[in-house]
Amino acid sequence: MRTISVSEVTEAVRKACGEMAFFYSTDILERMEEGLKNERGERSRAAMDMLLQNAAIAREEQIPICQDTGLVTVWIHAGQEISFTDGSLKEAVQEGVRRGYEENFLRASVVKDPLYERVNTRDNTPAVIYCDITEGDRLVIELTAKGFGSENMSRQKMLKPSEGEQGVKDFVLETIRLAGPNACPPMIVGVGLGGTFDYSTVLAKHALLRDLSQPNPDERYAKLEEELKEAANQLMIGPMGLHGNTTVLGIRIETAPTHIAGMPCAVNICCHACRHREIRL
């Protein structure tokens, strides 16, 4: 049995919150630079160039990529042979988010009640936390901080199995088209297919964490990801909605077994600032 103090988790989460607010991951920067080369219009090329300049300034001065520093979602993958000491694991994660946002002066965007008491909690907690138990004694924590300009453009639909691949394509592309400039393109799009109504949306958000250089391990879904990316870019929404060639930087699909009578499909839209980090302890 391996022992981990939850104080280690708090410190790692605190550090990750600052890093993902200031630094693009390498795969996203590479896709943005590729997009700049592919842009032909003067306005769309200028928009993409400004996004890259913004990324450089954020990195050099360690200031947020975007003023909306997001609501944090956390996936905890805990090995069954780990014993956590010195407190609550979930509370340790929340404390790490709290410290990361306060110490880096990141915007607090969470309200404690969605309808009647929209009072800001002032420290960007609570984060949304998902947990699962894995084999062994390793702890993996994945984090993303998602702004709501793009989150608000996300959708879910209970497709009929008979709608097949074309139904999935139509729904994903319709969602991207409806998002338009409101999602601060170029977008990264997560698609969750299967499971249940609720789980399909978790799959879609988790899909955003996969490196853009890594296609789906299933060749059929890898092919679908590329076909959707090409079709989305043909919508010509372009960087910041200025009708360019780069509407999406990538589309990532995650799947799960589902019921014989259904085919849940969720589309989680993310802007170019797809902030995420992975912690291994």
Q: Are residues 85 and 158 in the same domain?
A: no
The pLDDT of 88-117, averaged and rounded, is 97
Asked whether residue 99 falls in the same domain as residue 187, the answer is no
The answer on 263 and 154 residing in a single domain is yes
Do 224 and 248 fall into the same domain? yes
* The token pair that represents 31 in the structure block: 């896709």
Strand 187-195 to 128-134 pairing = unpaired
- Number of Cβ within 10 Å of residue 251's Cβ equals 26
Gyration radius of the chain's alpha carbons: 19
SS3 at position 165: helix
Residue 36 domain-assigned (yes or no): no
Residue with tokens 């400039």: 181
Residues β-bridged to residue 190:
252, 268
Task: Give the mean pLDDT of the chain.
Answer: 97
Q: Are residues 140 and 166 located together in one domain of the fold?
A: no
123: domain range? 2-22+65-146
Helix 26-38 with 42-61: angle, nearest 10 deg:
150
Q: Which amino acid does the sequence have at 244? A: G
125 & 229 share domain = no
Write out pLDDT tens, residues 16-62. Answer: 999 999 999 999 999 999 999 999 999 999 999 999 999 999 999 99
On whether both 17 and 122 belong to a single domain, the answer is yes
Confidence of residue 266 (pLDDT cuts 50, 70, 90): very high
Decide: helix, strand or coil at residue 112: coil
Provide the percentage of residues in the chain whose pLDDT is more than 70. 100
Note whether 103 and 129 are same-domain residues: yes
Q: What is the mean pLDDT of residues 159-179?
A: 98
For 182-215, how does the pLDDT look when each residue is reduced to its tens digit (9 = 90+)?
Answer: 999 999 999 999 999 999 999 999 999 999 999 9
* 53 occurs within a structural domain: no
pLDDT at 50: 97
In a domain, 111, yes or no: yes
pLDDT of residue 222: 98
Are residues 136 and 174 part of one domain? no
**Closest to 190 in 3D by CA, of 103, 249, 132:** 249
Q: Tell me 66's DSSP state.
A: S
> Phi and psi (nearest 5°) for 138?
-105, 145
Q: Which residue has the tokens 């600032």?
A: 273
246 with 265, same domain: the answer is yes
The one-character DSSP state at 185 is S
Q: Does any domain span residue 41?
A: no
Task: Give the tens place of pLDDT for each residue, 123-166.
Answer: 999 999 999 999 999 999 999 999 999 999 999 999 999 999 99
Residues 166 and 92 in one domain: no
Mean pLDDT, residues 101-108: 97
pLDDT of amino acid 84: 97
Q: How confident is the model at residue 105 (pLDDT cuts 50, 70, 90)?
A: very high
Determine, yes or no, domain membership for 129.
yes
Residues 6+ apart with CB under 8 A from 122: 108
